[in-house]
Amino acid sequence: MTRLLLFFLLIPACLYAQKPSARKLVWSDEFDGNGRPDPSKWTYEKGFVRNKEPQYYTVDRTENARVENGMLVIEARKETDFSDGEQIPYTSASLITLGKHAWKYGRFEVRAKVPKGLGSWPAIWMKGANYPGTKWPFCGEIDIMEFVGKDSSLVYGTVHYADSTGKYRMEGKKPSVGAPYDDFHVYALEWSEDHMDFYYDDLKYFTYELKKADNRTAGNPFQKEFFLMLNLALGNPKNLGGRLDDRILPVRFYVDYVRIYQ
């Protein structure tokens, strides 16, 4: 009887121990070395891109995106003399894998430290690889992590899509986790054929069922490939980021690694 009980007690531990080995690391960036982010892995968004955000995303500018001390640093700055044909008040960077790498299903894991301060708005997120040919929200969007300085104890995990009638939909959760800006944390998405699980370290705080995004005409966007995005936006009173306090600038978003398992 004792041996039989011990056998059954060990089964969950054995299964747990075998789970990581069932996945294979298919893509990663450990951000080793110093200088510019790896151009074989990343490209950039450019300009004033969305949400009436005040920052201008620069391309291949180490003041805004660089690798140093074993991590990626994305820095938002207040500018006095930066110009790209027009006066630019703030700069930052948005690194993306569009046109280089895309994935469907797997575990997407990023260890990062978010910046504190009113108006800081870092994100780890994904869009359908058929973008921009397929417009948002029809391409789908997966926000693995958003952090906004005005809600400094929360992290956001959200999905955006169009339903079968073409109407915009979103669903997500924003757990209170204390002070995420005080240290590095693991932000992860586990995406399978029928659902997605969102994690803050070991806390699974949101599950989304993919069938909710079924579209008779366009198909389900979450059953297609997505590309990855890392960016540091700044807020304004008319968007989610909220009012920007210039006194926080420059502000930095640190990414220790990105690892993708399938």
The three-state secondary structure class of 238 is: coil
Q: What pLDDT sits at residue 166?
A: 85
Beta strands in the chain (DSSP E): 25-29, 43-44, 55-57, 65-68, 71-78, 90-92, 94-96, 106-113, 120-128, 141-146, 156-162, 168-173, 185-191, 195-200, 203-209, 226-234, 251-261
Question: What is the Cα–Cα distance from 56 to 251, expressed in whole angstroms?
Answer: 15
Does the annotation mark 141 as catalytic?
yes
Low-confidence residues in the chain, pLDDT < 70: 1-21
- The active-site residue out of 146, 190, 193, 225 is 146
Residue 146 annotated in active site:
yes
Given CA atoms 226, 228, 84, 115 in this order, what sign does their dihedral have? positive
Candidate list 53, 75, 141, 190, residue with the active-site label? 141
pLDDT digits (tens, 9 = 90+) for 105-141: 999 999 999 999 999 999 999 999 999 999 999 999 9
* Spatial distance between the Cα atoms of 92 and 74, rounded to a whole number of angstroms: 7
pLDDT in tens, 37-69: 999 999 999 999 999 999 999 999 999 999 999
pLDDT for residue 173? 98
Which tokens in the block code for residue 240?
A: 């989610």
Taking the C-alpha atoms of residue 122 and residue 72, their distance in angstroms, rounded to an integer, is: 13
What pLDDT does residue 21 have? 53
Among 58, 75, 69, 59, smallest CA distance to 35 is for: 69
Which domains can be identified in the chain, with CATH numbers? Answer: 25-261 (2.60.120.200)
What pTM did the predictor assign? 0.91
